[in-house]
Structure 1
Protein backbone atom coordinates (compact mmCIF):
# COMPACT_ATOMS: atom_id res chain seq x y z
CA UNK A 1 0.00 0.00 0.00
CA UNK A 2 2.81 2.42 0.90
CA UNK A 3 4.62 1.63 -2.34
CA UNK A 4 1.51 2.36 -4.40
CA UNK A 5 0.87 5.66 -2.64
CA UNK A 6 4.53 6.73 -2.74
CA UNK A 7 5.33 5.93 -6.36
CA UNK A 8 2.17 6.30 -8.45
CA UNK A 9 2.74 10.04 -8.83
CA UNK A 10 5.56 12.53 -8.55
CA UNK A 11 6.06 16.18 -9.38
CA UNK A 12 9.01 18.49 -9.04
CA UNK A 13 12.00 20.14 -10.62
CA UNK A 14 14.05 17.66 -12.61
CA UNK A 15 17.19 17.87 -10.49
CA UNK A 16 15.16 17.37 -7.29
CA UNK A 17 13.00 14.38 -8.30
CA UNK A 18 14.95 11.76 -6.33
CA UNK A 19 14.85 13.98 -3.24
CA UNK A 20 11.11 14.51 -3.70
CA UNK A 21 10.58 10.74 -4.00
CA UNK A 22 12.67 10.01 -0.88
CA UNK A 23 10.80 12.66 1.13
CA UNK A 24 7.47 11.15 0.05
CA UNK A 25 8.57 7.68 1.19
CA UNK A 26 9.65 9.10 4.56
CA UNK A 27 6.36 11.00 4.89
CA UNK A 28 4.36 7.78 4.46
CA UNK A 29 6.51 5.67 6.78
CA UNK A 30 4.29 6.22 9.82
CA UNK A 31 0.92 6.50 8.06
CA UNK A 32 -1.79 4.15 9.30
CA UNK A 33 -3.62 1.80 6.95
CA UNK A 34 -6.67 4.07 7.12
CA UNK A 35 -4.62 7.12 6.12
CA UNK A 36 -3.05 5.22 3.23
CA UNK A 37 -6.44 4.11 1.91
CA UNK A 38 -7.66 7.71 1.96
CA UNK A 39 -4.61 8.76 -0.05
CA UNK A 40 -5.02 5.92 -2.53
CA UNK A 41 -8.72 6.41 -3.31
CA UNK A 42 -9.32 9.20 -5.79
CA UNK A 43 -5.61 9.43 -6.63
CA UNK A 44 -4.43 6.01 -7.83
CA UNK A 45 -7.80 4.25 -7.72
CA UNK A 46 -10.37 6.44 -9.49
CA UNK A 47 -13.89 6.14 -10.85
CA UNK A 48 -14.29 6.53 -14.61
CA UNK A 49 -16.84 9.31 -14.11
CA UNK A 50 -14.59 11.32 -11.78
CA UNK A 51 -13.17 14.58 -13.23
CA UNK A 52 -9.52 14.45 -14.26
CA UNK A 53 -7.22 16.20 -11.82
CA UNK A 54 -3.95 17.74 -12.93
CA UNK A 55 -0.82 18.05 -10.81
CA UNK A 56 -0.62 21.23 -8.74
CA UNK A 57 2.18 23.19 -10.37
CA UNK A 58 1.82 26.18 -8.01
CA UNK A 59 4.62 24.85 -5.82
CA UNK A 60 7.08 24.80 -8.72
CA UNK A 61 9.36 27.80 -9.12
CA UNK A 62 8.68 29.53 -12.49
CA UNK A 63 11.21 29.24 -15.31
CA UNK A 64 12.57 25.89 -14.14
CA UNK A 65 12.35 22.53 -15.89
CA UNK A 66 9.83 20.41 -13.99
CA UNK A 67 8.28 16.98 -14.48
CA UNK A 68 5.04 15.57 -13.17
CA UNK A 69 3.10 12.36 -13.77
CA UNK A 70 0.31 10.36 -12.17
CA UNK A 71 -0.57 6.73 -12.85
CA UNK A 72 -4.25 5.95 -12.25
CA UNK A 73 -6.25 2.73 -12.10
CA UNK A 74 -9.62 3.67 -13.54
CA UNK A 75 -12.75 1.59 -12.93
CA UNK A 76 -16.51 1.91 -13.22
CA UNK A 77 -18.45 3.74 -10.51
CA UNK A 78 -19.86 0.43 -9.25
CA UNK A 79 -16.43 -1.23 -9.12
CA UNK A 80 -14.96 1.84 -7.43
CA UNK A 81 -17.67 1.75 -4.74
CA UNK A 82 -17.06 -1.97 -4.18
CA UNK A 83 -13.29 -1.45 -4.01
CA UNK A 84 -13.74 1.34 -1.49
CA UNK A 85 -15.96 -0.92 0.63
CA UNK A 86 -13.41 -3.76 0.39
CA UNK A 87 -10.56 -1.51 1.51
CA UNK A 88 -12.63 -0.21 4.41
CA UNK A 89 -13.29 -3.84 5.32
CA UNK A 90 -9.53 -4.40 5.36
CA UNK A 91 -9.10 -1.44 7.71
CA UNK A 92 -11.78 -2.79 10.03
CA UNK A 93 -10.19 -6.24 9.91
CA UNK A 94 -6.77 -4.85 10.78
CA UNK A 95 -8.15 -2.75 13.64
CA UNK A 96 -10.06 -5.70 15.02
CA UNK A 97 -6.97 -7.89 15.05
CA UNK A 98 -4.72 -5.19 16.48
CA UNK A 99 -7.02 -3.87 19.20
CA UNK A 100 -9.76 -6.38 20.04
CA UNK A 101 -8.46 -9.90 19.34
CA UNK A 102 -7.38 -10.60 22.93
CA UNK A 103 -10.72 -9.36 24.27
CA UNK A 104 -12.69 -11.45 21.79
CA UNK A 105 -11.23 -14.88 22.63
CA UNK A 106 -10.42 -16.65 25.90
CA UNK A 107 -6.88 -17.78 25.20
CA UNK A 108 -6.57 -19.40 28.65
CA UNK A 109 -8.59 -22.45 27.63
CA UNK A 110 -8.40 -25.01 24.83
CA UNK A 111 -11.79 -24.15 23.31
CA UNK A 112 -10.93 -20.44 23.24
CA UNK A 113 -7.62 -21.14 21.50
CA UNK A 114 -9.34 -23.40 18.96
CA UNK A 115 -11.91 -20.72 18.18
CA UNK A 116 -9.17 -18.10 17.87
CA UNK A 117 -7.27 -20.36 15.45
CA UNK A 118 -10.31 -20.79 13.22
CA UNK A 119 -10.88 -17.03 13.23
CA UNK A 120 -7.24 -16.28 12.40
CA UNK A 121 -7.33 -18.72 9.48
CA UNK A 122 -10.45 -16.97 8.15
CA UNK A 123 -8.74 -13.59 8.57
CA UNK A 124 -5.64 -14.87 6.79
CA UNK A 125 -7.74 -15.84 3.77
CA UNK A 126 -9.30 -12.37 3.62
CA UNK A 127 -5.96 -10.64 4.12
CA UNK A 128 -4.34 -12.80 1.44
CA UNK A 129 -7.06 -11.81 -1.03
CA UNK A 130 -6.46 -8.12 -0.33
CA UNK A 131 -2.71 -8.61 -0.61
CA UNK A 132 -2.98 -10.33 -3.99
CA UNK A 133 -5.09 -7.48 -5.35
CA UNK A 134 -2.61 -4.87 -4.08
CA UNK A 135 0.23 -6.92 -5.56
CA UNK A 136 -1.50 -6.90 -8.98
CA UNK A 137 -1.99 -3.14 -8.73
CA UNK A 138 1.69 -2.68 -7.88
CA UNK A 139 2.62 -4.81 -10.90
CA UNK A 140 0.44 -2.70 -13.19
CA UNK A 141 1.97 0.47 -11.76
CA UNK A 142 5.55 -0.76 -12.27
CA UNK A 143 4.76 -1.92 -15.79
CA UNK A 144 3.25 1.48 -16.58
CA UNK A 145 6.32 3.25 -15.21
CA UNK A 146 8.59 1.02 -17.31
CA UNK A 147 6.56 1.68 -20.47
CA UNK A 148 6.67 5.41 -19.76
CA UNK A 149 10.45 5.26 -19.25
CA UNK A 150 10.80 3.51 -22.63
CA UNK A 151 8.58 6.13 -24.26
CA UNK A 152 10.53 9.16 -23.04
CA UNK A 153 13.72 7.68 -24.55
CA UNK A 154 12.30 7.47 -28.08
CA UNK A 155 13.17 10.04 -30.77
CA UNK A 156 9.46 10.74 -31.23
CA UNK A 157 9.06 11.81 -27.60
CA UNK A 158 12.22 13.91 -27.78
CA UNK A 159 10.94 15.65 -30.92
CA UNK A 160 7.64 16.39 -29.19
CA UNK A 161 9.16 17.56 -25.91
CA UNK A 162 11.89 19.71 -27.43
CA UNK A 163 10.21 20.94 -30.59
CA UNK A 164 6.50 20.15 -30.30
CA UNK A 165 6.51 17.75 -33.26
CA UNK A 166 3.91 14.98 -32.98
CA UNK A 167 4.45 11.58 -34.64
CA UNK A 168 1.67 12.38 -37.15
CA UNK A 169 3.56 15.46 -38.35
CA UNK A 170 1.36 18.05 -36.65
CA UNK A 171 2.86 20.68 -34.36
CA UNK A 172 2.11 21.48 -30.72
CA UNK A 173 2.92 25.13 -31.29
CA UNK A 174 3.27 26.15 -27.64
CA UNK A 175 6.22 23.71 -27.39
CA UNK A 176 7.74 24.38 -30.80
CA UNK A 177 11.23 25.74 -31.14
CA UNK A 178 10.12 28.43 -33.56
CA UNK A 179 7.50 29.81 -31.16
CA UNK A 180 10.01 29.70 -28.31
CA UNK A 181 12.36 31.73 -30.50
CA UNK A 182 9.58 34.23 -31.23
CA UNK A 183 8.87 34.61 -27.51
CA UNK A 184 12.56 35.12 -26.85
CA UNK A 185 12.64 37.80 -29.54
CA UNK A 186 9.70 39.62 -27.98
CA UNK A 187 11.41 39.57 -24.59
CA UNK A 188 14.35 41.48 -26.05
CA UNK A 189 12.79 43.60 -28.78
CA UNK A 190 9.24 44.49 -27.69
CA UNK A 191 8.19 48.12 -27.68
CA UNK A 192 5.12 48.74 -25.57
CA UNK A 193 4.47 45.00 -25.59
CA UNK A 194 4.56 44.69 -29.41
CA UNK A 195 7.45 43.45 -31.54
CA UNK A 196 8.15 44.29 -35.15
CA UNK A 197 8.11 41.00 -37.05
CA UNK A 198 11.03 41.94 -39.32
CA UNK A 199 13.20 42.63 -36.28
CA UNK A 200 12.16 39.34 -34.68
CA UNK A 201 12.98 37.42 -37.88
CA UNK A 202 16.44 39.00 -38.06
CA UNK A 203 16.96 38.09 -34.39
CA UNK A 204 15.98 34.45 -35.00
CA UNK A 205 18.02 34.10 -38.21
CA UNK A 206 21.11 35.21 -36.31
CA UNK A 207 20.58 33.04 -33.20
CA UNK A 208 18.61 30.07 -34.55
CA UNK A 209 19.22 29.81 -38.32
CA UNK A 210 17.58 26.37 -38.52
CA UNK A 211 14.21 27.60 -37.23
CA UNK A 212 12.44 28.68 -40.38
CA UNK A 213 8.74 28.57 -41.30
CA UNK A 214 9.41 25.88 -43.90
CA UNK A 215 10.74 23.53 -41.20
CA UNK A 216 7.30 23.72 -39.58
CA UNK A 217 5.23 23.37 -42.74
CA UNK A 218 4.52 27.09 -43.16
CA UNK A 219 5.11 29.42 -46.12
CA UNK A 220 5.76 32.59 -44.11
CA UNK A 221 6.37 33.98 -40.64
CA UNK A 222 2.88 35.42 -40.69
CA UNK A 223 1.48 31.91 -41.18
CA UNK A 224 3.56 30.69 -38.22
CA UNK A 225 1.98 33.37 -36.03
CA UNK A 226 -1.48 32.49 -37.32
CA UNK A 227 -1.10 28.70 -37.01
CA UNK A 228 0.29 28.88 -33.49
CA UNK A 229 -2.75 30.77 -32.17
CA UNK A 230 -0.72 32.11 -29.28
CA UNK A 231 0.17 35.48 -30.83
CA UNK A 232 -1.78 38.58 -31.82
CA UNK A 233 -0.79 40.03 -35.21
CA UNK A 234 -1.29 43.58 -36.45
CA UNK A 235 -0.38 45.25 -39.74
CA UNK A 236 0.44 48.91 -39.25
CA UNK A 237 0.90 51.72 -41.69
CA UNK A 238 4.45 52.47 -42.68
CA UNK A 239 6.08 54.84 -45.15
CA UNK A 240 3.88 55.33 -48.20
CA UNK A 241 1.23 52.67 -48.70
CA UNK A 242 3.27 49.84 -47.18
CA UNK A 243 2.32 48.07 -43.99
CA UNK A 244 4.51 46.45 -41.36
CA UNK A 245 3.63 43.40 -39.23
CA UNK A 246 3.80 43.67 -35.44
CA UNK A 247 2.95 40.89 -33.01
CA UNK A 248 2.67 40.09 -29.31
CA UNK A 249 1.94 37.03 -27.21
CA UNK A 250 -1.74 36.74 -26.33
CA UNK A 251 -2.69 37.70 -22.82
CA UNK A 252 -0.22 40.60 -22.75
CA UNK A 253 -2.07 43.61 -21.37
CA UNK A 254 -0.24 46.56 -22.82
CA UNK A 255 -1.22 49.68 -24.66
CA UNK A 256 -0.82 49.57 -28.41
CA UNK A 257 2.37 51.32 -29.53
CA UNK A 258 2.06 53.34 -32.71
CA UNK A 259 5.48 54.20 -34.15
CA UNK A 260 5.85 57.65 -35.69
Structure 2
Protein backbone atom coordinates (compact mmCIF):
# COMPACT_ATOMS: atom_id res chain seq x y z
CA UNK A 1 0.00 0.00 0.00
CA UNK A 2 2.83 2.38 0.86
CA UNK A 3 4.46 1.69 -2.51
CA UNK A 4 1.21 2.55 -4.30
CA UNK A 5 0.86 5.76 -2.29
CA UNK A 6 4.47 6.75 -3.01
CA UNK A 7 4.05 6.03 -6.73
CA UNK A 8 0.99 8.30 -6.94
CA UNK A 9 2.82 11.08 -5.08
CA UNK A 10 5.73 10.82 -7.51
CA UNK A 11 3.35 11.01 -10.48
CA UNK A 12 1.59 14.10 -9.15
CA UNK A 13 4.75 15.90 -8.04
CA UNK A 14 6.38 15.37 -11.41
CA UNK A 15 3.27 16.45 -13.33
CA UNK A 16 4.02 20.12 -12.76
CA UNK A 17 7.32 21.95 -12.69
CA UNK A 18 7.32 25.57 -11.57
CA UNK A 19 9.59 28.14 -9.96
CA UNK A 20 6.65 29.99 -8.39
CA UNK A 21 7.77 30.87 -4.84
CA UNK A 22 4.33 30.25 -3.29
CA UNK A 23 2.17 27.90 -5.35
CA UNK A 24 5.03 25.47 -6.08
CA UNK A 25 5.98 24.62 -2.46
CA UNK A 26 2.30 24.78 -1.40
CA UNK A 27 1.28 22.20 -4.00
CA UNK A 28 4.19 19.92 -3.08
CA UNK A 29 3.25 20.10 0.61
CA UNK A 30 -0.41 19.31 -0.13
CA UNK A 31 0.53 16.24 -2.15
CA UNK A 32 3.06 15.02 0.42
CA UNK A 33 0.50 15.25 3.24
CA UNK A 34 -2.43 13.72 1.30
CA UNK A 35 -3.89 10.36 2.25
CA UNK A 36 -4.41 7.60 -0.30
CA UNK A 37 -8.03 8.69 -0.77
CA UNK A 38 -7.01 12.31 -1.39
CA UNK A 39 -4.29 11.23 -3.79
CA UNK A 40 -6.82 9.16 -5.70
CA UNK A 41 -9.00 12.25 -6.26
CA UNK A 42 -6.06 14.39 -7.40
CA UNK A 43 -4.78 11.67 -9.71
CA UNK A 44 -7.98 11.36 -11.73
CA UNK A 45 -8.98 15.02 -11.58
CA UNK A 46 -5.83 16.47 -13.10
CA UNK A 47 -3.41 13.78 -14.29
CA UNK A 48 -5.14 10.69 -15.70
CA UNK A 49 -7.76 12.35 -17.90
CA UNK A 50 -9.80 11.60 -21.03
CA UNK A 51 -9.20 15.00 -22.68
CA UNK A 52 -6.45 17.64 -22.37
CA UNK A 53 -7.32 19.99 -19.48
CA UNK A 54 -7.86 23.68 -20.21
CA UNK A 55 -5.51 25.88 -18.21
CA UNK A 56 -6.39 29.48 -17.43
CA UNK A 57 -3.57 32.07 -17.39
CA UNK A 58 -2.93 33.82 -14.07
CA UNK A 59 -1.67 37.33 -13.67
CA UNK A 60 1.41 37.72 -11.50
CA UNK A 61 2.04 40.90 -9.52
CA UNK A 62 5.77 40.24 -9.21
CA UNK A 63 8.30 41.29 -11.85
CA UNK A 64 9.93 37.89 -11.44
CA UNK A 65 9.89 35.58 -14.47
CA UNK A 66 7.59 32.72 -13.50
CA UNK A 67 7.90 29.40 -15.30
CA UNK A 68 5.30 26.66 -15.00
CA UNK A 69 4.97 23.50 -17.07
CA UNK A 70 2.37 20.82 -16.41
CA UNK A 71 1.23 17.74 -18.25
CA UNK A 72 -1.47 15.07 -18.10
CA UNK A 73 -1.83 11.58 -19.50
CA UNK A 74 -4.84 11.39 -21.83
CA UNK A 75 -6.38 7.93 -21.69
CA UNK A 76 -9.27 6.14 -23.35
CA UNK A 77 -12.32 6.54 -21.06
CA UNK A 78 -12.58 2.77 -20.60
CA UNK A 79 -8.93 2.44 -19.55
CA UNK A 80 -9.21 5.40 -17.19
CA UNK A 81 -12.38 3.99 -15.59
CA UNK A 82 -10.65 0.65 -15.09
CA UNK A 83 -7.62 2.24 -13.41
CA UNK A 84 -9.87 4.35 -11.20
CA UNK A 85 -12.04 1.37 -10.20
CA UNK A 86 -8.97 -0.72 -9.33
CA UNK A 87 -7.56 2.04 -7.14
CA UNK A 88 -10.91 2.76 -5.46
CA UNK A 89 -11.35 -0.93 -4.68
CA UNK A 90 -7.85 -1.05 -3.23
CA UNK A 91 -8.61 1.95 -1.01
CA UNK A 92 -11.79 0.27 0.25
CA UNK A 93 -9.81 -2.89 1.00
CA UNK A 94 -7.20 -0.85 2.81
CA UNK A 95 -9.84 0.90 4.93
CA UNK A 96 -11.43 -2.44 5.80
CA UNK A 97 -8.01 -3.80 6.71
CA UNK A 98 -7.36 -0.91 9.11
CA UNK A 99 -10.78 -0.70 10.76
CA UNK A 100 -12.39 -4.16 10.62
CA UNK A 101 -9.76 -6.82 10.01
CA UNK A 102 -9.15 -7.78 13.64
CA UNK A 103 -12.87 -7.92 14.42
CA UNK A 104 -13.55 -10.12 11.40
CA UNK A 105 -10.77 -12.62 12.02
CA UNK A 106 -10.08 -14.23 15.40
CA UNK A 107 -6.32 -14.62 15.27
CA UNK A 108 -6.46 -16.96 18.26
CA UNK A 109 -8.02 -19.61 16.01
CA UNK A 110 -5.90 -21.59 13.54
CA UNK A 111 -8.67 -21.70 10.95
CA UNK A 112 -9.26 -17.94 11.22
CA UNK A 113 -5.51 -17.30 10.90
CA UNK A 114 -5.41 -19.31 7.68
CA UNK A 115 -8.41 -17.38 6.33
CA UNK A 116 -6.78 -14.11 7.35
CA UNK A 117 -3.56 -15.09 5.55
CA UNK A 118 -5.48 -15.91 2.37
CA UNK A 119 -7.20 -12.53 2.56
CA UNK A 120 -3.93 -10.67 3.16
CA UNK A 121 -2.28 -12.41 0.21
CA UNK A 122 -5.26 -11.47 -1.95
CA UNK A 123 -5.00 -7.80 -0.93
CA UNK A 124 -1.26 -7.85 -1.48
CA UNK A 125 -1.80 -9.21 -4.99
CA UNK A 126 -4.25 -6.39 -5.76
CA UNK A 127 -1.82 -3.79 -4.44
CA UNK A 128 0.98 -5.23 -6.58
CA UNK A 129 -1.28 -5.14 -9.67
CA UNK A 130 -2.20 -1.48 -9.08
CA UNK A 131 1.45 -0.61 -8.42
CA UNK A 132 2.55 -2.15 -11.73
CA UNK A 133 -0.22 -0.27 -13.59
CA UNK A 134 1.01 2.99 -12.05
CA UNK A 135 4.57 2.02 -12.92
CA UNK A 136 3.59 1.83 -16.61
CA UNK A 137 2.02 5.30 -16.34
CA UNK A 138 5.19 6.54 -14.65
CA UNK A 139 7.22 5.37 -17.63
CA UNK A 140 4.89 7.28 -19.96
CA UNK A 141 5.39 10.31 -17.75
CA UNK A 142 9.16 10.05 -18.07
CA UNK A 143 8.78 10.11 -21.85
CA UNK A 144 6.57 13.22 -21.54
CA UNK A 145 9.13 14.93 -19.30
CA UNK A 146 11.87 14.18 -21.83
CA UNK A 147 9.80 15.98 -24.47
CA UNK A 148 9.27 18.91 -22.10
CA UNK A 149 13.03 19.01 -21.53
CA UNK A 150 13.64 19.14 -25.29
CA UNK A 151 11.08 21.94 -25.59
CA UNK A 152 12.65 24.01 -22.81
CA UNK A 153 16.01 23.76 -24.57
CA UNK A 154 14.55 24.70 -27.96
CA UNK A 155 14.49 27.99 -29.83
CA UNK A 156 10.67 27.86 -29.72
CA UNK A 157 10.69 28.04 -25.93
CA UNK A 158 13.21 30.87 -25.91
CA UNK A 159 11.04 32.89 -28.30
CA UNK A 160 8.01 32.32 -26.08
CA UNK A 161 9.95 33.25 -22.95
CA UNK A 162 11.20 36.58 -24.30
CA UNK A 163 7.91 37.40 -25.99
CA UNK A 164 9.06 37.09 -29.59
CA UNK A 165 6.37 36.02 -32.10
CA UNK A 166 6.78 32.49 -33.37
CA UNK A 167 7.25 31.95 -37.11
CA UNK A 168 4.13 30.47 -38.80
CA UNK A 169 3.69 26.81 -37.93
CA UNK A 170 6.22 26.75 -35.08
CA UNK A 171 3.52 26.62 -32.41
CA UNK A 172 2.12 23.46 -34.01
CA UNK A 173 5.49 21.75 -33.57
CA UNK A 174 4.83 21.58 -29.83
CA UNK A 175 1.74 19.36 -30.35
CA UNK A 176 2.40 15.65 -29.93
CA UNK A 177 0.09 14.53 -32.76
CA UNK A 178 1.86 16.87 -35.18
CA UNK A 179 5.21 15.49 -34.03
CA UNK A 180 3.88 11.98 -34.73
CA UNK A 181 2.75 12.99 -38.24
CA UNK A 182 6.27 14.29 -38.88
CA UNK A 183 7.83 11.07 -37.59
CA UNK A 184 5.46 8.99 -39.75
CA UNK A 185 6.34 11.12 -42.77
CA UNK A 186 10.03 10.46 -42.24
CA UNK A 187 9.46 6.74 -41.71
CA UNK A 188 6.89 5.85 -44.37
CA UNK A 189 7.17 8.40 -47.20
CA UNK A 190 7.63 6.95 -50.69
CA UNK A 191 10.34 8.00 -53.13
CA UNK A 192 8.41 11.18 -53.98
CA UNK A 193 8.13 12.12 -50.28
CA UNK A 194 4.40 11.33 -50.10
CA UNK A 195 2.81 9.32 -47.28
CA UNK A 196 -0.78 8.23 -46.70
CA UNK A 197 -2.54 10.38 -44.11
CA UNK A 198 -4.26 7.23 -42.86
CA UNK A 199 -0.81 5.75 -42.23
CA UNK A 200 0.06 8.86 -40.25
CA UNK A 201 -3.11 8.52 -38.16
CA UNK A 202 -2.36 4.86 -37.49
CA UNK A 203 1.08 5.92 -36.26
CA UNK A 204 -0.51 8.50 -33.93
CA UNK A 205 -2.76 5.80 -32.45
CA UNK A 206 0.23 3.45 -32.15
CA UNK A 207 2.03 6.16 -30.12
CA UNK A 208 -0.92 6.37 -27.72
CA UNK A 209 -3.01 9.11 -29.34
CA UNK A 210 -6.70 8.92 -30.23
CA UNK A 211 -8.24 8.76 -33.70
CA UNK A 212 -10.25 11.93 -33.08
CA UNK A 213 -7.50 13.96 -31.39
CA UNK A 214 -7.82 16.59 -34.14
CA UNK A 215 -11.02 17.78 -32.45
CA UNK A 216 -8.93 18.93 -29.46
CA UNK A 217 -7.46 21.64 -31.68
CA UNK A 218 -10.63 22.89 -33.29
CA UNK A 219 -10.21 20.91 -36.53
CA UNK A 220 -12.84 18.95 -38.44
CA UNK A 221 -10.54 16.18 -39.69
CA UNK A 222 -6.93 15.10 -39.86
CA UNK A 223 -6.52 16.65 -43.29
CA UNK A 224 -7.91 19.89 -41.85
CA UNK A 225 -5.34 19.79 -39.03
CA UNK A 226 -2.46 18.96 -41.41
CA UNK A 227 -3.41 21.87 -43.65
CA UNK A 228 -3.86 24.36 -40.79
CA UNK A 229 -0.39 23.74 -39.42
CA UNK A 230 1.24 25.06 -42.57
CA UNK A 231 3.86 22.36 -42.06
CA UNK A 232 2.51 19.89 -44.62
CA UNK A 233 1.17 19.89 -48.13
CA UNK A 234 -2.01 17.79 -48.37
CA UNK A 235 -3.15 16.03 -51.54
CA UNK A 236 -6.28 14.10 -52.45
CA UNK A 237 -5.92 11.23 -54.91
CA UNK A 238 -8.09 8.42 -56.16
CA UNK A 239 -6.92 4.91 -55.38
CA UNK A 240 -6.84 3.04 -58.71
CA UNK A 241 -7.55 -0.29 -57.00
CA UNK A 242 -10.43 0.61 -54.67
CA UNK A 243 -11.72 3.63 -56.53
CA UNK A 244 -11.85 5.55 -53.24
CA UNK A 245 -10.42 8.99 -52.66
CA UNK A 246 -7.53 9.09 -50.20
CA UNK A 247 -5.51 11.88 -48.59
CA UNK A 248 -1.73 12.06 -48.65
CA UNK A 249 0.69 14.56 -47.17
CA UNK A 250 4.28 15.69 -47.61
CA UNK A 251 6.63 17.27 -45.09
CA UNK A 252 7.11 20.97 -45.71
CA UNK A 253 10.26 23.07 -45.68
CA UNK A 254 9.35 24.63 -42.28
CA UNK A 255 9.87 21.32 -40.49
CA UNK A 256 13.32 21.14 -38.84
CA UNK A 257 15.54 18.29 -39.95
Find the aligned partners of 2:169 and 2:147 in 1 and give their Cα distance.
Answer: 24
Give the match for residue 218 of structure 1: none
Q: Deviations over 1:135-193 (max 9, x none)?
A: 22222223321321122112343245432234xx5577xxxxxxxxxxxxxxxxxxxxx
Find the aligned partners of 1:94 and 1:131 in 2 and give their Cα distance.
Answer: 14
Q: Deviations over 1:115-144 (max 9, x none)?
A: 111111111111000011112222222332
Q: Secondary structure at the match of 2:145?
A: helix
Q: Secondary structure at the match of 1:69?
A: strand
Unaligned segments of structure 2, at least 5 residues: 1-7, 172-257
Change (3 A) 1:96 1:4: same
Give the match for residue 46 of structure 2: 43
Conserved? CA contact 1:164–1:171, under 8 Å: no
Q: Aligned pair 1:126/2:103, yes or no?
A: no
Find the aligned partners of 1:161 and 1:22 in 2 and give their Cα distance.
Answer: 23
Aligned counterparts, 1:14-163, within 5 A: 16=21, 20-48=23-51, 52-54=53-55, 56-58=56-58, 60-61=60-61, 63-162=63-162, 163=164
Aligned partner of 1:6 among 1, 13, 17 = 13
Find the aligned partners of 2:109 and 2:170 in 1 and give their Cα distance.
Answer: 76
Larger radius of gyration: 1
Figure out how many residues of one structure are paired with residues of the other and give that number: 163
Find the aligned partners of 1:43 and 1:112 in 2 and give their Cα distance.
Answer: 42
Conserved? CA contact 1:107–1:113, under 8 Å: yes
Find the aligned partners of 1:68 and 1:165 in 2 and give their Cα distance.
Answer: 19
Change (3 A) 1:59 1:136: farther
Give the match for residue 257 of structure 1: none
- Displacement of 1:80 in angstroms is 2.4
Conserved? CA contact 1:8–1:72, under 8 Å: yes
TM-score by length of 2: 0.56
Find the aligned partners of 1:2 and 1:76 in 2 and give their Cα distance.
Answer: 22
TM-score by length of 1: 0.55
Q: Taking CA–CA contacts closer than 8 Å with sequence separation of 6 or more, which of the two structures ends up with the larger relative contact order?
A: 2
**Which stretch shifts more, 144-153 or 22-31?**
22-31
Q: What is the root-mean-square deviation of aligned Cα atoms in Å?
A: 2.5
- Displacement of 1:74 in angstroms is 0.9
Find the aligned partners of 1:60 and 1:159 in 2 and give their Cα distance.
Answer: 20
**Which stretch shifts more, 21-30 or 137-146?**
21-30
Find the aligned partners of 1:59 and 1:92 in 2 and give their Cα distance.
Answer: 41
- Displacement of 1:96 in angstroms is 1.4
Conserved? CA contact 1:7–1:21, under 8 Å: no
